[in-house]
Amino acid sequence: MRPEDMLFWLQAQPFQPFRVTLNSGRTFEVRHPEMVRRMRTSLLHFTPMDAATRFSHENN
């Protein structure tokens, strides 16, 4: 998923949950737009009762 695609899905009205699948096969469920924070070159994905996971489109 390109960064532009991620922003499109995060800003959709109404928001629809979606899944991000990395090249490694690892997946991230985004059930609410506040579960992801955009950084300069990466995104932070938050899950309940877990540490944040940083992933970048450049590291896939």
pLDDT in tens, 2-55: 777 888 989 999 999 999 888 899 888 899 998 888 877 777 888 776 555 666
Domain span including residue 11 = 3-59
Distance CA 36, CA 8 (A): 13
- Residue 9's Cα: distance from chain center in Å? 9
Could you tell me how many residues make up the chain? Answer: 60
Number of structural domains found in the chain: 1
In the numeric block, the tokens 């490694």 are attached to 24
Report the pLDDT averaged over residues 52-60: 58
